[in-house]
Amino acid sequence: MSDKGVVLVTGGAGFIGSHLCERLLAMGYRVLCVDNLLTGRKHNLSHLLDHPLFSFYEQDISKSLYLDEPLKIVIHFASVASPKDYMTFPIQTLKAGSLGTFNMLGLAKAKNADFVLASTSEVYGDPAEHPQKETYWGNVNPVGPRAVYDESKRFAEALSMAYMQKHGMPSRIARIFNTYGPRMRSDDGRAVPTFVMQALKNEPITIHGDGTQTRSFCYIDDLIDGLIALIHSNVTGPINLGNPLETSILEVVQWIIRLADSASPIVHIEPLPDNPRRRNPDIALAKLHLGFAPKVGIQDGLAKTIAYYRASIA
């Protein structure tokens, strides 16, 4: 067993989860990764499977999980995260946020472990406040097409706070804003991988709406830095983690076309229902309490991401 202790990461075969497992191993933790591979990919962990401090369990955490090992930290990342996927798997998405969170909180309590929840900027819905502070309660349609994800995360936050207040259980909540980089599934429907793959194939790049809607894109390495800082802090949160540089979708597409040296035309299609017009984190709390400050500029991050997908196509 590692001197650092044992960390359980649910959803560890996913995009962010696999990078987090990798960083925790590099820091000397023993890492137990649990994923049912609904949207995660074991390929994301191929370089970790033979690591002496790493174990992988294929299981759905909406069902009970029993582990003999002592745990220091339970990090709950298991969730269907892209609109395309959670509209395909609505019930599984709700179960991961409700039953999955309940099971992982119970496991953390039984093991006397800290609990860390991966929440999302989607708890703010289509926000009327810009940038979004953690004190903002959000503007969410509870019965709309995105509700299965938005409300599952809002419930998970409420359940985490209830365990902390009722049982005094150390809990931390990270509200993660749009993150991109290597290991995102190319077919998961999210903006960056979709645009990059279209650009690399010189296909028309499809933008929902006029492209003036904004997002704040955070490169994966920066997000992992923030998560590690949160895990090792006494901050309970919720706390925003993301890049505060607000960028229009059209600008992102234009950068991708240039960086990929693509001949793709831009095609505008119907806007997505309940798609937020603006999304931008206020990260003042993360800066103050975690020393969090994203370092990777969007063009540098996009160049690294394009190189990853170009290699995967080759």
Answer yes or no: is pLDDT of 1 > 60: no
Residues 253, 156 share a domain: no
Q: What's the pLDDT score for residue 32?
A: 98
Angstrom distance (rounded) from CA 120 to CA 123: 6
Residues 195, 101 share a domain: no
Catalytic residue of the set 149, 180, 219, 309: 149
Answer yes or no: is pLDDT of 17 > 70: yes
Contact 61, 120 (CB under 8 A): no
Q: What's the pLDDT score for residue 196?
A: 96
Answer yes or no: is pLDDT of 276 > 80: no
Mean pLDDT of 115-141: 94
Q: What's the pLDDT score for residue 2?
A: 62
Give the domain extent around 238. 6-181+219-244+280-295
Query: 186 in a domain, yes or no?
Result: no
**Residue 208 bridge partners (DSSP):** 269
Q: What's the pLDDT score for residue 46?
A: 96
Residues 290, 207 share a domain: no
Residues 153, 257 share a domain: no
Residues 155, 83 share a domain: yes
Answer yes or no: is pLDDT of 30 > 80: yes
Task: Say how many domains are in the chain.
Answer: 2
Q: Percent of the chain beyond pLDDT 90?
A: 85
Mean pLDDT of 245-254: 94
Residues 147, 111 share a domain: yes
Tens of pLDDT, residue by residue over 39-98, are 999 999 999 999 999 999 999 999 989 899 999 999 999 999 888 898 999 999 999 999
Domain holding 172: CATH number?
Answer: 3.40.50.720
Residues 260, 141 share a domain: no
Answer yes or no: is pLDDT of 144 > 70: yes
Residues 229, 121 share a domain: yes
Answer yes or no: is pLDDT of 3 > 80: no
Query: 113 in a domain, yes or no?
Result: yes
Query: 125 in a domain, yes or no?
Result: yes
Residues 260, 136 share a domain: no
Answer yes or no: is pLDDT of 110 > 60: yes
Query: 195 in a domain, yes or no?
Result: yes
Q: What's the pLDDT score for residue 311?
A: 94
Domain holding 201: CATH number?
Answer: 3.90.25.10
Residues 105, 197 share a domain: no
Residue 245 makes CB contacts below 8 A (sequence gap 6+) with: 216, 217, 294, 298
Residues 265, 154 share a domain: no
Residues 125, 23 share a domain: yes
Answer yes or no: is pLDDT of 210 > 60: yes
CA dihedral 212, 213, 219, 224 (to 10 degrees): 170
**Residue 218 bridge partners (DSSP):** 179
Structure confidence at residue 12 as a pLDDT band (50, 70, 90): very high
The residue ranking higher by pLDDT, 175 or 273, is 175
What is the reported pTM?
A: 0.95
149 belongs to the catalytic site: yes
Residue 268 has phi, psi (to 5 degrees) of -95, 130
Q: What's the pLDDT score for residue 292?
A: 98
Query: 1 in a domain, yes or no?
Result: no
